[in-house]
């Protein structure tokens, strides 16, 4: 190497190491049986290895790093070793334990049925295998949930018949495989213990058998305990020899395939085995017989009108005794109809079988001759017998021969010109009648014409009703009139007149009646009148509450809807019957109905009265009786019903109650009521039984539930005492009310003094002279409303009335704001109106609270010297007249307030010149709305003491004669306020 040069060299050091082996995923690896187990071998070595060797018990298994064993079994459990060799002197290996988990397996040693003698000791072993071992092993007994024994051995000492049964051994373990959640498993096995003993007492089911004749009956016998060896059963019927009766003699079940009346009786059962016999049991079998007809009705019967003494009879027998009913046309005949009489006789035949004979007599006070057949008797008659087993019927069709009887509802029909008219003549008759039509006074019969103007057809039903229809297409004016329908058969002739007329308003309903009454409704039914030819008839019911009756008795109870005497209306639409709702309970109402169609309406029907029911009468909340003081206390919850308290007592053991007193109650509406007083029971019993119920004051038979009295003086004290918080609340409320009343009185007095000073000032002023009635036919300003804020306006009205010409009328007609015909509302004809369309006073704009408006009127009146008032709309607004009001906006009258109302100031302050309280609600005004501002007169007042929202003012006619003093002026201006 030349001098001065260096040699660079790189040395690589290779280090080899023997295999390091790990196994998993966990060690030991826990796997549930029948699940795939995966064994993992991981090797770290240099040089690396390409495979490993899995060994178990010296036997080669596999070479893969991940070795899977599908569906592992108990035989797969053990130690697995993973070997790794990379050629170095030392090899690597690691062992993995595979733990196979499985749920319990339970078996019973010996036979599944064990037999023991009474007084023996019995031991049963329960073998359990499981991995992991079971957490619990327990014995239980079927039907005896209280029996429990822990451990795998069942021990029964000194066994008796009661120990016989089915015993179960149950084992539980918890399996937690690697990488999965734990689960609980259980298994069980049973053994039957038989104790040799004779049967116990027998029992037969059903215990009260009832069977219908001809049905199948099964009686079952069992002994408790059943006995071992297995028992046999012996059956017999009481009163017969013990060789048995037909059916199964030995066996737990006794079967009668078809029972009859002779099968009825007492049956006994005995359980027995080789050790002995148990006590027998007995049961009584009752056999019922369905009704059977022995005499039926004749299927078809014909009778003539006027025949007498006609009867229909049917007879049936059954067990129990049948009940008989009679129907006509499927509707039950009522005893009170006065057309029929029913007589029934019964006779017992045998074995409690009863024969019943029933006769329907066509007799009654409602018949013309008491017992003669009438046309209305025709129809279907049914005799019905029924008992607990079955219902049977027999039917008779009765035809009555009689002359025709008209049954069409109205003697008129209505059609318009050009329509097709159909006039129906409907009659009941037998035999079949013949029809003949004629028109007007012409008796010649109408025939089916070749031009088709008349078409006649006849139909019938199954109840001797025949209908002839005269059909006329394209009717003309000359077709209107009366058509005669002559109907004749062999027994007589009738002529019915039917009028054809144009369509019109309906006729009034008749026979209105109430068919159902509830606490808040009444259902009405009526006979509709002729509908005027228009089928879309609608009905309106007018109703009003009758005066008197059970009125509301408490101040805070809601008044009944609709004052007494005021008619209200309910829309029934087309409903008949009609259910009138929203009524008050226990109130009497009058009802009448009117019919409407597109042509008009009918008159009202006659009135009918009905009283609504009571929803529920409450029971007393508490009743207390003090025997020593002889005092009774009754607490009643909130109610608005007028009630009385009925007090009853009971003595002795017969539980008989007797009414001793009736107390009147003053109910308080929304708060509870209490009454306490003395009660003289006239009894020696120191603790009598007392109960109280509440009844209607108007009807003492309508009452609520009873409340038993609590006996003892402490109960009276508790019932009569008010709670301390209640007393405190009452005292505080009273103090607040007195303070408010004092402040209100002081405020009114102050306002009165202020008003008097202002009035004196205005009376002395000659510059201000506004007039309500202007001369020369000019319109003045309308009288201003009384509002508390318009102080100057208030006094200007008094001043105007004082200075008014007494010969000029104050108003054109009584009351404010009514225009008379032919008068110009601007006052051209000299008519003085309370409120005019172009008036700009406070009263005409709905009562603006801006007092500047009235001041402006007073200025203009003084400036013009009584001339017509300045019209701001004609002269550019208020600003042109007075700079003080230059910013006041233009006024536009929105409405004619001829029916506006103003409240009276006398409502809250007795002095007529004091400031007046205004209503919080007033009509729309073009002025700025200040209705939401607080009103000192209204703050703190409840709804009952606030001024009305709408009132009307009436004036005193003495205005026309002038006033003598300022004080009389203001009182006469507003005489009354009508709310």
Is the pLDDT at 145 greater than 70? The verdict is: yes
Counting every residue, how long is the chain? 979
User: Which helix (H) or strand (E) covers residue 972, if one does?
Assistant: helix 966-973
Long-range contacts of 498-501, Cβ-Cβ distance < 8 Å, separation of 24 or more: 498/408, 498/411, 498/412, 498/413, 498/423, 498/424, 498/425, 499/411, 499/412, 499/413, 500/412, 500/413, 500/414, 500/415, 500/421, 500/423, 500/475, 501/412, 501/413, 501/414, 501/533
3-state secondary structure 273-339: CCCCECCCEEEEEEEEEEEEEEECCCCEEEEECCCECCEEEEEEEEECCCEEEEEECCEECCHHHCC
Burial class (CB in 10 A: 0-12, 13-18, 19+), 376: middle
- Count CA atoms closer than 13 A to 49's CA, side-chain side: 26
Q: Is the dihedral of CA 678, 684, 690, 692 positive or negative?
A: negative
**Is pLDDT at 550 greater than 80 in this prediction?**
no
Q: In this predicted model, which residue has the larger pLDDT, 922 or 745?
A: 745
Least-confidence region, from 47-61, 496-510, 739-753: 739-753
Q: What is the predicted pLDDT for the residue at 903?
A: 36
Indicate the average pLDDT of the chain. 76
- What would the mean pLDDT of 260-268 be, rounded to a whole number? 91
What is the Cα Rg of the chain in Å? Answer: 54
> Which residues share a beta bridge with 267?
237, 283
Confidence of residue 39 (pLDDT cuts 50, 70, 90): very high
**3-class secondary structure, 902:** coil
484/281 Cα distance (integer angstroms): 84
Q: What percent of the chain has pLDDT over 70?
A: 69
pLDDT tens for each residue of 961-977: 333 333 443 333 333 33
Average pLDDT over residues 420-438: 93
Q: Please tell me the predicted confidence (pLDDT) of residue 463.
A: 73
Segment 155-167 shows an average pLDDT of: 91
Residue 120 predicted with pLDDT over 70: yes
Predicted local distance difference test score (pLDDT) of residue 657: 86
The answer, yes or no, to whether the previous bond of 545 is cis (omega within 30 of 0) is no
At CA 362, angle to CA 359 and CA 366, rounded to 5?
135
Per-residue confidence band for 321, with pLDDT thresholds at 50, 70 and 90: very high
Q: Say what percent of the chain tops pLDDT 90.
A: 46
| Angstrom distance (rounded) from CA 224 to CA 231 | 11
Confidence at residue 724, expressed as pLDDT on a 0 to 100 scale: 47
The pLDDT of residue 443: 84
**C-alpha–C-alpha distance, residues 397 and 298, integer Å:** 8
Per-residue pLDDT, averaged over 884-896, amounts to 37
CA 630-683-632 angle, to 5 degrees, is 25
Segment 909-918 mean pLDDT: 38
Q: Which two tokens mark 257?
A: 């395939």
Token pair 């929304």 is at which residue?
670
pLDDT average, residue stretch 894-901? 36
With a cut of 90, say whether residue 869 has pLDDT above it: no
* Number of helical (H) and strand (E) elements in the chain, helices listed first: 5, 55
For residue 388, which of 319, 457, 488, 324 has the smallest C-alpha distance?
319
- Name which of 918, 922, 914, 893 is nearest 903 in CA terms: 918
Give which of 797, 804, 808 is closest to 916, Cα–Cα.
797
CB atoms within 10 A of CB 686: 8
Residue for token digits 């009444």?
A: 522
Which ranges of 295-452 would DSSP assign to H, the alpha helix?
A: none
Average pLDDT of the segment spanning 655-671: 82
Q: Which residues contact 900 (CB under 8 A, 6 or more apart)?
A: 816, 817, 835, 843, 846, 847, 923
pLDDT value for 660:
87
Q: What pLDDT is attached to residue 558?
A: 63
Q: Is the pLDDT assigned to residue 118 strictly greater than 80?
A: yes
Beta bridge partners of residue 610, listed in sequence order: 589
Q: Which residue has 């030991």 as its token pair?
A: 28
User: What is the pLDDT at residue 715?
Assistant: 52
Cα separation, 239 vs 27, whole angstroms = 84
pLDDT at 945: 38
Q: Averaged over 584-596, what is the pLDDT?
A: 91
Averaged pLDDT for residues 657-678: 84
- Lowest-confidence segment of 152-166, 351-365, 535-549 by average pLDDT: 535-549
Contacts of 962 (CB under 8 A, 6+ apart): 804, 806
CB atoms within 10 A of CB 416: 11
Residue 47: how many CB atoms within 10 A of its CB?
A: 12
Instruction: Look at residues 274, 120, 144 and name the one whose alpha carbon lies nearest to residue 195.
Output: 120
Three-state DSSP string of 613-660: CCCCCCCCCEEEEECCCCEEEEEECCECCCEEEEEEEECCCCCCEEEE
**Rounded average pLDDT over 832-856:** 37
| Exposed e or buried b per residue across 443-476, where buried means at least 16 C-beta atoms within 10 angstroms of its C-beta | eeebeeeeeeeeebeeeeeeebbbbbebbbeebe
Of 207, 199, 251, which Cα lies nearest the Cα of 224? 199
Q: What is the pLDDT of residues 269-285, one digit of tens each?
A: 999 999 999 999 999 99
Query: For residue 553, is pLDDT > 80?
Result: no
Q: Output the CA angle 807-811-815, nearest 5 degrees.
A: 145
Neighbours of 883 (CB within 10 A): 9
Distance separating alpha carbons of residues 135 and 174, to the nearest angstrom: 7
Q: How far apart are CA 907 and CA 809, in angstroms?
A: 28
Distance CA 29, CA 99 (A): 6
Reported as a pLDDT band with limits 50, 70 and 90, residue 10 is: low
Phi, psi at 727, each rounded to 5°: -65, -45
How high is the pLDDT of residue 523? 96
Whether pLDDT at 323 is above 90: yes
Question: What is the 3 state secondary structure string of 582-624?
Answer: CCCCCCEEEEEEEEEECCEECCCCCCEEEECCCCCCCCCCEEE
Q: What value does the mean pLDDT take over residues 942-948? A: 41
Range scoring the smallest mean pLDDT among 287-291, 463-467, 605-609, 784-788: 784-788
What's the pLDDT score for residue 538? 95
Q: Decide if pLDDT at 28 tops 80.
A: yes
Tokens of 415: 């059609």
Q: What global pTM score does this model have? A: 0.48
CA 61 – CA 551 distance, rounded (Å) = 105
Evaluate if residue 246 carries a pLDDT over 90: no
């Amino acid at each position: 190497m030349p001098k001065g040069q260096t040699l660079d060299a790189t040395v690589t050091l290779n280090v080899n190491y023997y295999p390091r082996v790990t196994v998993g995923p966990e060690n030991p690896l826990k796997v549930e049986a029948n699940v795939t187990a995966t064994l993992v071998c991981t090797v770290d070595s240099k040089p690396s290895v390409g495979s490993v060797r899995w060994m178990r018990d010296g036997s080669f298994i596999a070479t893969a790093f991940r070795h899977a064993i599908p569906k592992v079994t108990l035989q797969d459990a053990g130690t697995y070793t993973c070997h790794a060799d990379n050629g170095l002197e030392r090899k690597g290996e690691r062992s993995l334990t595979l733990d196979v988990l499985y749920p319990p397996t339970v078996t019973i040693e010996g036979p599944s049925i064990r037999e023991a003698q009474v007084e023996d000791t019995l031991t049963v072993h329960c073998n359990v295998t499981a991995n992991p071992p079971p957490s619990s092993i327990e014995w239980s007994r079927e039907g005896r949930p209280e029996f429990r024994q822990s451990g795998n051995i069942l021990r029964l000492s000194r066994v008796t018949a009661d120990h016989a049964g089915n015993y179960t051994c149950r084992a539980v373990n918890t399996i937690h495989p690697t990488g999965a959640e734990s689960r609980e498993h259980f298994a069980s096995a049973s053994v039957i213990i038989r104790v040799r003993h004779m049967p116990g007492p027998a029992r037969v089911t059903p215990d009260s058998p009832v069977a219908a004749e001809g049905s199948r009956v099964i009686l079952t016998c069992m002994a408790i305990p059943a006995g071992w060896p297995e028992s046999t059963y012996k059956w017999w019927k009481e009163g017969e020899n013990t060789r048995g009766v037909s059916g199964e003699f030995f066996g737990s079940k006794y079967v009668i395939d078809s029972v009859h009346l002779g099968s009825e009786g007492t049956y006994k059962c005995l359980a027995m085995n080789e050790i002995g016999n148990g006590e027998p049991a007995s049961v009584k079998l009752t056999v019922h017989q369905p009704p059977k007809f022995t005499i039926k009705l004749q299927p078809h019967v014909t009778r003539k009108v006027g025949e007498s003494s006609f009867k229909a009879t049917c007879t049936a027998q059954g067990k129990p005794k049948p009940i008989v009913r009679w129907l006509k046309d499927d509707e039950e005949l009522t005893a009170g109809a006065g057309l029929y009489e029913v007589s029934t006789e019964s006779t017992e035949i045998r074995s409690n079988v009863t024969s019943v004979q029933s006769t329907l007599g066509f007799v009654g006070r409602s018949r013309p001759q008491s017992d003669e057949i009438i046309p209305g008797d025709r129809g279907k008659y049914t005799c019905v017998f029924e008992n607990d087993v079955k219902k049977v019927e027999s039917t008779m069709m009765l035809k009555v021969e009689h002359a025709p009887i008209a049954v069409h509802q109205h003697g008129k029909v209505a059609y318009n010109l050009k329509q097709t008219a159909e006039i129906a003549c409907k009659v009941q008759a037998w035999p079949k009648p013949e029809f003949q039509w004629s028109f007007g006074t012409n008796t010649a019969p109408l025939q089916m014409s070749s031009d088709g103007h008349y078409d006649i057809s006849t139909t019938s039903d199954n109840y001797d009703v025949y209908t002839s229809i005269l059909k006329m297409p394209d009717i003309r004016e000359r077709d209107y009139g009366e058509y005669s329908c002559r109907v004749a058969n062999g027994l007589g002739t009738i002529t019915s007149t039917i009028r054809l007329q144009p369509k019109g308003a309906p006729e009034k309903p008749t026979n209105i009646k109430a068919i159902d009454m509830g606490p808040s409704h009444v259902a009405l039914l009526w006979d509709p009148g002729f509908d005027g030819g228009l089928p879309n008839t609608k009905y309106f019911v007018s109703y009003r509450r009758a005066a008197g009756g059970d009125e509301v008795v408490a101040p805070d109870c809601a008044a009944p809807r609709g004052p007494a005497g005021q008619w209200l209306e309910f829309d029934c639409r087309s409903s008949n019957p009609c259910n009138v709702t929203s009524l008050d309970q226990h109130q009497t109402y009058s009802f009448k109905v009117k019919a409407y169609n597109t042509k008009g309406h009918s008159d009202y029907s006659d009135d009918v009265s009905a009283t609504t029911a009571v929803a529920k009468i409450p029971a007393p909340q508490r009743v207390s009786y003090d025997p020593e003081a002889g005092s009774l206390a009754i607490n009643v919850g909130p109610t608005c019903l007028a009630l009385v308290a009925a007090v009853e007592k009971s003595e002795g053991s017969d539980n008989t109650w007797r009414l001793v007193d009736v107390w009147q109650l003053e109910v308080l509406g929304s708060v509870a009521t209490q009454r306490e007083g003395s009660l003289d029971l006239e009894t020696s019993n120191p603790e009598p039984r007392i109960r109280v119920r509440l009844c209607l004051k108007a009807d003492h038979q309508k009452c609520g539930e009873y409340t038993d009295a609590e006996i003892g003086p402490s109960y009276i004290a508790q019932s009569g005492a008010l709670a301390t918080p209640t007393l405190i609340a009452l005292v505080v409320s009273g103090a607040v009310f007195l303070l408010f009343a004092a402040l209100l009185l002081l405020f009114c007095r102050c306002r009165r003094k202020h008003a008097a000073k202002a009035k004196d000032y205005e009376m002395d002023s000659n510059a201000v002279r506004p007039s309500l009635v202007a001369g020369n036919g000019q319109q003045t300003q309308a009288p201003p409303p009384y509002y508390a804020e318009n102080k100057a306006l208030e006094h200007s009205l008094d001043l105007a009335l004082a200075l008014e010409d007494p010969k000029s009328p104050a108003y054109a007609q009584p009351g404010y704001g009514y225009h008379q015909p032919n008068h110009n509302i601007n006052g051209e004809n000299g008519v003085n109106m309370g409120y005019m369309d172009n008036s700009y006073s406070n009263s005409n704009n709905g009562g603006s609270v801006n007092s500047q408006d009235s001041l402006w009127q007073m200025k203009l009146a003084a400036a013009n010297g009584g001339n017509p008032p300045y019209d701001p709309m004609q002269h550019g607004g208020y600003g042109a007249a007075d700079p003080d009001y230059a910013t006041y906006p233009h006024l536009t009258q929105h409405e004619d307030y001829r029916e506006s109302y103003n409240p009276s100031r006398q409502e809250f302050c007795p002095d007529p010149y004091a400031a007046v309280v205004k209503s919080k609600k007033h009509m729309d005004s073009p002025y700025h709305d200040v209705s939401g501002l607080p009103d000192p007169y209204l703050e703190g007042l409840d709804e009952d003491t606030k001024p009305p929202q709408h009132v009307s003012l009436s004036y005193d006619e003495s205005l026309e004669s002038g006033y003598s003093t300022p004080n009389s002026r203001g009182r006469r201006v507003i005489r009354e306020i009508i709310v």
